[in-house]
Amino acid sequence: MVLLSLVATHSNVDLETVARLSVGAPQVPSAVLADDRPVSGAVVLSTCNRFEIYFEAPSEEDVEAARSAIISTISSYSGIPEPSVSSAFVTKKGGSVAKHLFAVGAGLDSAVVGEREIAGQVRRALIEAQASGAASKGLVRLFQAASRTAKDVGARTVLGSDGRSIVSVALELAGDISGSADWSQKSVVLFGTGAYAGATMALLNEKKAGEVAVFSSSGRAETFVASRGGRALDSDSLTGAIREADVIIGCSGSDARIEATDLASIREGSSSPLVVIDLALSHDFDPAVANLDNVELITLESVRLAAPEEQAETLRQAGELVQQAADDFEEQQNTRAMDAAIVALRKHTQQVLDAEMKRVRSQHGCTAAAEEVELALRRMVRQLLHTPTVRARELAAEGRQDDYTAALEALYGIDLRPAAEAEAPAAPSRPALHPAGVPHPAGSGDPAQCPVSHEPPAAASA
């Protein structure tokens, strides 16, 4: 299996493109897996400033076809031509996939470096993919490792210890623009009831905002405020709340965008300043509201530019933890991929041993002498397999598993290509071991077929 990812974030494309690519994001994994395509699993990570899809291809030969399938699916949902979709993404493969996701989960790739919200979004992305049946075993391991790395970075560095997030920086900006950090006198209208709206409400409560009214075009405002506080708005009360608001915050990303002309009409005759915070990737507000009198607009780009920089030493420590975690994950992947080769070599050797023991028994019967021959051969096979097994692990750690499998094919004629199509289990089960340490043959060596005791002599076991 080959891990890949397609990455489009605030650092390589504009947020408008990210928003367009994200259309239909929840349906992409299932759609890709529904057809007979060379994709073994897929997980989408879609946030306010990134759209990333992680997927597995069965083999190196399937990589390009798998990527094309993902691009085609995203194009069909977003309406963006395939060449444009392809050029918007940065493609990562192998070890760089884990390193990038681990950095993302730890907050190192965020607009607000060190923000902790992204760790929860990484966890939710995996949960959603598992619920739809789109997450392969390899992707589950990848995302679980990313969550562990995020916890490790949080525990071993001061990154994110101030609790900074996109929402917190936006509210700090709003306080600076209004000339007062005292939220107790501010009237706020909040659009949306999702994760960002919840985080925003939590911070507004911490700041003891004077009044917070919540509107949801989906009708979930009543349920939202019941557990978080605030006042629910409907279509009739929304206009009045906007007219009296000091701050309006958009977190919904709905299609019902507030146009500049509508906001100007609602606020006509009001001389009080208004701060509009638009945290929705697809924009809850017409960007032209920034041109209205007495209106200041804060966008995701504003937040990115205003986000404080973390100390260089903290970033270095976090980066080292991420790199080490990515290296460990890659080593584990290589070792797991080598399991099939080790099992194939053992199976090949076992077949040779079985054939030889069949010949011995056909000449000497099931005798004590035949038993001693079998014990001796098994000890020899165990010793002969020791070095190739250890070397397999060493080469896997160096990322040279292809050298090992090529050697098996050249020396023994063992073809691992069919085995590579099936993912090796995380902890491969072993057949029952003979006392000498080599799997017991299912045929003539079975104790049920030979009355001679298989226990080695006491002196041999000492």
Catalytic site residues?
Answer: 48
Q: Give the other-Cβ count within 10 Å of 217's Cβ.
A: 16
Ligand-binding site membership of 121 (annotated): yes
Amino acid at 417: R
Ligand-binding site membership of 244 (annotated): no
| Helices of type H across 158-299 | 166-178, 195-206, 221-228, 235-244, 260-266
Regarding beta strands 90-93 and 50-57, do their DSSP bridges make them parallel or antiparallel, or are they unpaired?
A: unpaired
Give Cα 302 to chain centroid, integer Å.
Answer: 27
Ligand-binding site membership of 50 (annotated): yes
Ligand-binding site membership of 461 (annotated): no
Ligand-binding site membership of 253 (annotated): no
Let me know: does 33 contact 55? Beta carbons within 8 Å.
no
Regarding beta strands 90-93 and 187-191, do their DSSP bridges make them parallel or antiparallel, or are they unpaired?
A: unpaired
Residue 55's nearest CA partner among 42, 71, 66 is 42
CA angle 219–124–247, rounded 5-degree value: 45
Ligand-binding site membership of 349 (annotated): no
Ligand-binding site membership of 48 (annotated): yes
Alpha-carbon distance 373 to 377, whole Å?
Answer: 6
Residue 41's nearest CA partner among 141, 129, 146 is 129
Alpha-carbon distance 23 to 20, whole Å?
Answer: 6
Residues 6+ apart with CB under 8 A from 146: 98, 101, 102, 104, 105, 122
Question: Per DSSP, what are the bridge partners of residue 297?
Answer: 276
Ligand-binding site membership of 291 (annotated): no
Alpha-carbon distance 21 to 18, whole Å?
Answer: 5
Helix (H) or strand (E) holding 241: helix 235-244
Ligand-binding site membership of 117 (annotated): yes
Ligand-binding site membership of 115 (annotated): yes
Alpha-carbon distance 387 to 389, whole Å?
Answer: 5
Alpha-carbon distance 162 to 149, whole Å?
Answer: 19
Alpha-carbon distance 146 to 104, whole Å?
Answer: 8
Q: Give the other-Cβ count within 10 Å of 59's Cβ.
A: 14
> Which CA distances in Å does 16 have to 10, 197, 281?
10, 21, 7
Counting Cα atoms < 13 Å in the Cβ hemisphere of 371 gives 16
Ligand-binding site membership of 195 (annotated): yes
**190 φ, ψ (degrees, to nearest 5):** -115, 125
Ligand-binding site membership of 430 (annotated): no
> Which CA distances in Å does 19 have to 43, 78, 119, 278, 335?
18, 9, 20, 14, 39
Residue 19's nearest CA partner among 303, 255, 189, 219 is 255
Annotated binding site for substrate: 47-50, 110, 115-117, 121
Annotated binding site: 47-50, 110, 115-117, 121, 192-197
Annotated binding site for NADP(+): 192-197
